[in-house]
Structure 1
Amino acid sequence: MIRFKEYLERRARRAAFMSVCLAGLAGFGGLFLGSCANEDLGKDGGEEGDRNASVAFNVSEAQDDAQAAAKAMPGVPVTRAAFSEQLGMMNLTPADLTTQKLAVQGAAGTDLCLIETTTPGVNPMRQDNRTMTARTAATTGKEDTEAATRANITTMTTLGHFASYGYRGTTAAGISAAPSWFYHEKTNPDGTLVSPRFWSWQIPFGRFYAVSPWVESGYAKLQFSPATHAGTPYVDFEVEPDVKNQKDLMTACSGVVQYATQFVPPTTNLKFRHALTAVRFKVGQNLSYSKTITKVEIIGAMSKGRYTLSTDETGTGAAWSDLSTPQTFTLGGDGTVNVSTTAAVNQIILGNNGDNFTFYMIPQPLSGVQIKIYFNNSSTPAITANLSGTWKPGTTKTYALSQNTSTWDYQLTVTSPAAVGYDVTTTGDYTVKSYREDPVTHIQQPVKWKVVSYQESTDGGQTWGAETTVKPAWLTSLSMTEGNGGTSAESGFGTLTTNITDLLAKRNKALKNATALGSSGTPYDLSTKGGTIQRSTANCYVISAPGHYRIPLVYGNAIKNGTTNVHAVQTSNTGSHILKHFKNHNNQNITEPWITESNGGANSPNGAKIVWADESGLVTNLAVSGSGTNAFVKFKVPASAIKNGNAVIAVTKAGVVVWSWHLWFAPQSVLQTTACTNFQKKVYNIPNETLGWKYTVWKATTYSAPRIVKVKVEQTVANGGVKQEGIITITQNNGGVRQGYSTLYQFGRKDAFPGTDAISEGSFNKNGGNNMSIQNGIRHPEIFYTEGSSWINYYSYNNLWSMDNTGYGHNDNPVVKTIYDPCPAGFHMPAGYAFTGFTTTGNNSENQSEFNVYGNWDYGWNFNNKITSPNATVYFPASGYRGHDGTLHSVGNFGDYWLAVPGDTRRGCDLYFGLNKIGPRGFDGRSWGFSVRPVAK
């Protein structure tokens, strides 16, 4: 007892001495700043105060001081008297730490009970430098590690701004009854006032009060007594019904403080005390059935009351009165709570993101107060319990759902850290609280604990491996695997590895190392896959290996499966907005599929060139060879240069472009398809990647689902042959980063434009003016023609991308591919309703509950392949767009994808999406540059 008191006296003397020294040193330093030091210090400042004697507080928490006092005497047995004295520092007695068993009613209540335990402090966290030192050593350096041991003058790390109130007088007895000095002043967590106040030598006595948290004066549920109130101050307080909005009310009083040495501010201590009771719920030990707790309610507890503050530093005399307005208080019911009664043994009920929500309740007698617990999102409570006894201020009540046959003297409570990202190597804190309690004397003693096993899931918790004593390799270490226990939580953290692979480098390496195709004498024919299939031509070809290649000089898809595809060039439909016969670069009707045969062979090319490329050296040795129906453009793709990217090449006659093609350098897997069912139940086969997609960054974890480990913690002492155990869950999410862009297209044009302004070869004019026409479009695949009358006058046809389309608007009509279609062979532009399955309503939506997506925004969306029971996803990147003036916008933030059909003479139909919207039935101007996601025929 004597040693305990001596410790407290020494601690108080050190804090006072340090504060005075620091304040005096500041004043002493001021003497050297000029010859008018006394005037600068404000010697005759009167009520305005002495300028170097500002009011400031030493901020601490009473429960921390009690824990520090107990820790300072590790070798002293915890006698009843010493235990009582420690509790007295928090204005508690051993009788306040009640433990009892509460009967349970309800359909699920057979043989169940609630075990109520009480611990001193509100969610107390042990003030232990071991954990702080380990974390700072891992994350910062020596300076922070040493700072963790300096605790004589405390700034509470979790304290935010608070309100302070100043009373003063010329004598201690004459201190004002109302806060005439200052009222509701915003105060920093370190104890300095946001708007400084200064001590006055003429009015040297003061008393200060503080209330946390800081609230603006308009917040009606926490109101300090009026500035005109003469007497002991009070707080009128109302508890928020939603746990997520509740406030942890703390108050402090300095007692009488004297400004005894001019220009030296006195030590002014504000020792905060919790005014409320913390109420938490956990799943107890050895329940015999499996349920999921989704909501907990406290019903009938008083929600309003007046808290009269103590008038001295000890907290004596503080009390609640005028309790009123019974209310219901809720945790969960909104998807934030999902706790299994078997998988989360001894877990505090947490929100999904590890929020550790706690009920903060007004202390009160509990007659008529009930607890209701709901399972599996049911609207009917499964368990109801009537509370008894009293909630005491500054304590934590924990109600554990247990069986009547369970023993409840031994308590083990654990919390888990929130899941961390794929690139994070340190988890948040996990906590372990392990103790036993004498039900008669209420003395609480620590019980040692240790980690006993690990169990891993590599598929996000769907299946689990065997329980083992060996931790998984990705969990490098736990900072604490055993502890001495106690009523204050011991905390630790996990250190993790990151397993990330550079998928872009892997893709480029695969392209470079692929077996070269063709030879200079016998180039590989892209339209026949090297002579293995009948010829099918297109305006885009995918190249996946170095080598020598050739493309037949054929208009678009005018040859299909080895025969002339007349329907790609002509339609029997007529009308003012129907292009009945598709045109060439001279605006003449195309008469043959081969460029060298059409129009009597008048357009046979005699040159070739690179229009643009987004990587250097992708294409070399461009040349035209052959004649008639055996004419080709040939080129080489060097192994030294091939990588994920795009190039557009063209053949020319007398320097004028006759036709052009898009070369997409990517693995053949980009064209593998996923069957997607739209809202109208029609199936579309969508390839893996957006046309012309080029990664600029692509890194991802080597694992495809969150990896999880259950860490089992067990008390080292059994009670009744049973050791209490708890599960700490550590989760590292999968993920990665993928950035890039796609080629972009103007509605009805075949020509691929770069999704970047940084091209490596050739030229690109993003603002070609109001000059759109069929002839200009074919002759100038490098020019992006901007919005204007030319689009309506010369390019407002309905069937540019779907030969038999005659009308406007979204539909599921079959798309007949035309020679202006930009897609590879076997694919065509998507129908108007192709992507309606990307929302659950089939319509445009800004309601995220209607987004048919998997996971979070990831530089785009992973869309589910079906609305009902999806079994795959398709990734659509937000590749941005070019506006009507050719300017590039929103790469990484927004996606726009053309559909095959027009919306009207000015607009095309499209899919659009961003973080907060998905529109499968959009319309935008035809001159805009959007992405294309083909569908298979």
Structure 2
Amino acid sequence: MRHSRIFRSSFEHMVCLFVGVAACTVSSCTDDTFDKYGQQGASGMLAFDVVAPGSWTNGSAAANPASKDISIRKITQSGGDAPLYLVTEIAEAAVDTAAHRVMTRGTTITGETIEKYSFGLSAICYTGDWPGEDEENKWTTNFAHNIEVNYAQNAWNLKEPLHWTGSGRIKFFAYSPYSAASGSSDNANSDTIIHSKPDATGVPTLTYTVPEDVTKQKDLLYAVADCGGDGTGDIQKGAVHLQFKHALTAVTIQTGKNMLAGKVTGITISGVHGKATCQIGTGNWIPDGDDPNSSFSIDYDEDVELGWNGDDLMTNPDIVLNKDEEGYTFMMIPQALTDKAILTISFTDSITEMNRTLTAKLEDFTRDKTWAAGKRYTYSVNSTGIVIKPFIEMTINKTLYPNGGYKGGDFINLNEENLYTAMSDAEKLAYLPVSGFLNDVSITAYTHVVQAGAADETKEQYRKLDFEIQWSFNGTDWMSEKGQKDSHDNPMGWCPISTPKTIADNTDWKSPVSGSILLPAQDQFAYMQDFLYGERPSIEGRTLPGTVTPAGKGTETAPFNLVTDNSVKFKESANCYIVNDHGYYTFPTYYGNTYNVTSTSSYKYQGARDEIPAAVDTLVLKDFVDYNNDEIGQGSISGVTDAVLLWQDSPDLVTDVKYSNGNVCFHVPKETINQGNAVIAVRNNEKILWSWHIWVTHRKWDENSWIQLSSMNEYQKPFIIAPCNLGYCEPHGGEAERNIFMRFVADPKLVGGNGVILNEQLTINGAPRKSSEPKEEAVITFTQPKIAASVAGDNTYYQWGRKDAMLPGIHNDDTYKNGLADTHKLRLELDMVNKIFYSTDNFRFTSGETARSIGESIQFPYEFFMHQRPLGDKIADDIYKRRHWHDGSNVSYRLKTIMNYWNTELIQSGNAAYLSYDKQDDPDYKKAPNDKYVVKTIYDPSPAGFKIPPIKAFADLFDNVKLEKIDKTTKGTPNATVVSQPFVGWTVNIGETTFYFPATGVRDMGIEDKKIDYGTFPGFSSITYIATSGFHKNDATATNSSCLIFAIDKRTGNFQNCTVPIDGTNNAYGFTVRPIRDGQKGN
């Protein structure tokens, strides 16, 4: 048996100190050899996830304007009368980017990263806590010492292999470029980078000597990672995460906006430290000696010509005098500057042709008189002391992507390994919802005015910068936001939250303003919105009244309560809430159907438990359970710490989800309200406790829309059926992917040119530029994804017995062309695709293995449980798992199959022998328990006031139909009229009432051809399967125990295009739900 432990004694501590590089194969933190291939949280061999820092950039072009410092001082000159000024800009390096991550085991990459250079790696294996700043650090680089890691064959490769230790901790110290020199090596005095000795204690150090030749100066990088010996900690995708940062200071000299034309013949920086030592990762450099006496010069091969800017005597601004691409960027040691630090520029102006030596004490022109690590200091030479610069910074926060960051296909392709392919980083960056709405944007917009020699209170001023947003479909023809509204009267462009445009407050123009941006929506998105405004006829041919009002429902501080403010007679909680208008909403965190009631009937069997028939006793759940499979004892949900959005099938349908004082709150924006579905969950410590379905629709389920049937329940009260399927959205057409371009325009007097903001004046986070050239117009390029047609409309599906809304499926001409041969057994099954949804990667709607408990179904409402079909249906256990999602035999309630999920009092199986039509006067489907009054449970997915029906509720739809058994090859007389061209469903006429049943198929069970990780998919566009509360069969172990459904089927069969009175099928399908009115009992 393998034993391991963390060393604690002083002897053990010394062992770890002296093991050294031998720890590659034997752990210095455990007492035995570590199994390299899978015994711990990561595989044995170390891998590295390398992130290059953002490239050095001009201060105003790409740096965060809020973090940039600008100062102006008059500089000394050797001759001439015209005053010259030095403008200093201090800018952060561009944000570190994770565009290229590579691992030692061969992850493929593209593009240019730091793979051009190798990096050095040292590591310390330690136990306990890492020593604090005031503690003496006795550790040495015992795990790895200055090992070279280089890039080859699309991977980072260690010169010496390293393996995880299995316990303890490992702290990694990396730097680039690599140097073999160390304090004890022969070339220690000649190399510019020297690593500390192997026996040195504490954090390893680098001693850097700046080469006098500027072109040989290195951009030194460093990275630190702290990991557990078992592969935890600073780990990404199983690899040690090394995020490199700049260790030095970059210095650039350039012309300002008002610099006389001429030429520059040389630049020198003198009186600074040229050698220092730094602990890797700290950024704190200790100079070698107290006297800063180093000097670094640029001697040009050819003078830098500063030509005239048109008729102006000035040269063009922002001409870099020490270009990085020519190797002339000064890479200096970060340090405190003294009065010896001098910048000298040799300059000849074109007006007098006088040779000038311009000098400046750098400490006077540098904030805090310090060069900080990782910053670029840009010194600009001007001949006027006033500089005006516009700044706009926009940050777009995106958390929800199509399909959680994946692209779906136009049809189900069995040749693919998965239903989806991952979006690239570039695609995510360019993503614009089909709504055109960016709901979480912050913009900072101001002009920065600096005047040399002015009084302190006036030398640096910030002023607001008013702007407008323009957009284009082709990048040429631009439209302005001014006065523009979309088809539903929503203002286009930038919409700040509760503040005037571009204004943060009256004192600080640099503060970002939060808001949203509305760009043009795809036409089909706007078409679907029209229904909520009463502008389109529904699938039944009726134009329903509009439900959207100008004011909407509730406010952010006083949201509309979906329980206490609704129109249901008995204010009750539910697992689905219907929303018809934009606004702010809330509901209490109660289980479905438990609010405002004292009865426990929704979660406890109320009858005499000892009188339950023995044949079904093992099928009846007496006490309903929660997420933890514990019996529910009250209606309110305890332990809630937060609320989250899981998924939604229309972009930004629901936003701002939060938990507050026992309630879930959310917002439905007016800009994005549409027909759609969303699922919200409450959690404790990131574990889901319960979830709810939010259905946004133009349909109101009230006394003006529901339909009373003639068939009666066991109390001789008529069934009242909902006007449509739960979660239904109207049919719509398709639309191609398209680009939308956006730009900012301001007053030309403030920004120059024609007023269009240039790249150098704009910082963008969360969207791509069309061009990165500083002097070109800043154009942002968005991509709106395609919209797939849904010819029959679509609705949420429900696995029998689960409360959770499952993602709808759609079908159209593309989905029918699945590439399968006419004789293929799945050709007519795999003819639908998933409706697009929007989520984070954490809550993607996806597949999960079956044989789950009720508690697991509650914890994973975004998983559809399924099992791969066994070949030839020959394995009974696999057959059962494929046909049934539930198996609670290993949890406290011990039931493998349950019959009363959706009716707590159901203790009798229904008769599904629908071919026995010799009982026309007293058909079996009307007998008990098919007419059983449904006691609504906490697992019922219906909205307040509605519930899942028993099978008899649909009796009107086939009572007067002549049904007889016929050969499958003989066409029968249908009673359901096909709505075709294209095929979208059926109408069934009963007297003067017309019922419409859209062909929305089912969410399919597992198939032989694909494993479960392929994903979950809809199927059978030619059927409508509506679930009921009924159950068929008494045997808990039988694979054919099933739920009862109402069905219509277009496929060739016994009753093609006929309503089937009663049928039983597998409860692992995802079914359509058509609820009935609750409360039809007594007086």
Question: TM-score of the superposition, structure 2-length normalised?
Answer: 0.34
Instruction: Tell which structure's C-alpha radius of gyration is larger.
Output: 1
The TM-score with structure 1 as length reference comes to: 0.39
